[in-house]
Protein backbone atom coordinates (compact mmCIF):
# COMPACT_ATOMS: atom_id res chain seq x y z
CA UNK A 1 0.00 0.00 0.00
CA UNK A 2 2.76 2.44 0.97
CA UNK A 3 4.69 1.55 -2.18
CA UNK A 4 1.70 2.35 -4.39
CA UNK A 5 1.34 5.76 -2.78
CA UNK A 6 5.01 6.44 -3.45
CA UNK A 7 4.56 5.42 -7.10
CA UNK A 8 1.58 7.73 -7.54
CA UNK A 9 3.38 10.63 -5.89
CA UNK A 10 6.48 10.02 -8.00
CA UNK A 11 4.46 9.97 -11.23
CA UNK A 12 2.57 13.13 -10.24
CA UNK A 13 5.81 14.89 -9.32
CA UNK A 14 7.59 14.03 -12.56
CA UNK A 15 4.56 14.92 -14.69
CA UNK A 16 4.00 18.14 -12.78
CA UNK A 17 7.64 19.12 -13.16
CA UNK A 18 7.50 18.54 -16.93
CA UNK A 19 4.26 20.53 -17.21
CA UNK A 20 5.86 23.36 -15.24
CA UNK A 21 8.85 23.39 -17.58
CA UNK A 22 6.45 23.44 -20.53
CA UNK A 23 4.63 26.51 -19.21
CA UNK A 24 7.74 28.38 -18.08
CA UNK A 25 9.61 27.95 -21.37
CA UNK A 26 6.47 27.85 -23.58
CA UNK A 27 7.13 24.36 -24.92
CA UNK A 28 3.87 23.23 -26.52
CA UNK A 29 4.71 19.54 -26.42
CA UNK A 30 4.94 19.71 -22.60
CA UNK A 31 1.85 21.85 -22.03
CA UNK A 32 -1.71 20.82 -21.24
CA UNK A 33 -4.42 23.41 -21.67
CA UNK A 34 -8.16 23.41 -21.19
CA UNK A 35 -10.30 25.82 -23.15
CA UNK A 36 -13.76 26.34 -24.62
CA UNK A 37 -13.77 26.62 -28.40
CA UNK A 38 -17.48 27.24 -29.12
CA UNK A 39 -20.68 27.76 -27.19
CA UNK A 40 -21.91 24.28 -28.13
CA UNK A 41 -18.88 22.22 -27.20
CA UNK A 42 -16.07 22.12 -24.72
CA UNK A 43 -12.71 21.34 -26.20
CA UNK A 44 -9.57 20.30 -24.39
CA UNK A 45 -6.19 20.45 -26.01
CA UNK A 46 -2.69 19.66 -25.06
CA UNK A 47 -0.08 17.01 -24.82
CA UNK A 48 -0.18 13.83 -22.80
CA UNK A 49 3.56 13.37 -23.24
CA UNK A 50 4.46 14.61 -19.71
CA UNK A 51 2.13 11.98 -18.24
CA UNK A 52 3.57 9.22 -20.43
CA UNK A 53 7.12 10.24 -19.52
CA UNK A 54 6.13 10.34 -15.85
CA UNK A 55 4.66 6.85 -16.08
CA UNK A 56 7.72 5.44 -17.87
CA UNK A 57 10.15 7.04 -15.40
CA UNK A 58 8.14 5.71 -12.47
CA UNK A 59 8.13 2.23 -14.00
CA UNK A 60 11.88 2.25 -14.65
CA UNK A 61 12.73 3.60 -11.20
CA UNK A 62 10.50 0.95 -9.61
CA UNK A 63 12.23 -1.83 -11.57
CA UNK A 64 15.68 -0.51 -10.59
CA UNK A 65 14.57 -0.45 -6.95
CA UNK A 66 13.31 -4.04 -7.20
CA UNK A 67 16.59 -5.18 -8.74
CA UNK A 68 18.60 -3.44 -6.02
CA UNK A 69 16.45 -5.03 -3.30
CA UNK A 70 17.00 -8.49 -4.79
CA UNK A 71 20.78 -8.12 -4.72
CA UNK A 72 20.81 -6.98 -1.06
pLDDT confidence band for 25 (50 / 70 / 90): very high
Mean pLDDT of the chain: 88
Higher pLDDT, 41 or 5: 5
pLDDT confidence band for 36 (50 / 70 / 90): low
pLDDT over threshold 90, residue 5: yes
Do 49 and 69 form a contact (C-beta atoms < 8 A)?
no
pTM: 0.79
Higher pLDDT, 35 or 51: 51
How far is residue 41 from each of residues 31, 38, 44, 54, 63, measured CA to CA in Å? 21, 6, 10, 30, 42
Do 53 and 21 form a contact (C-beta atoms < 8 A)?
no
Amino acid sequence: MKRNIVRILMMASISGFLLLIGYIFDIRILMFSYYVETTESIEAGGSLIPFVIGFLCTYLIDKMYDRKQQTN
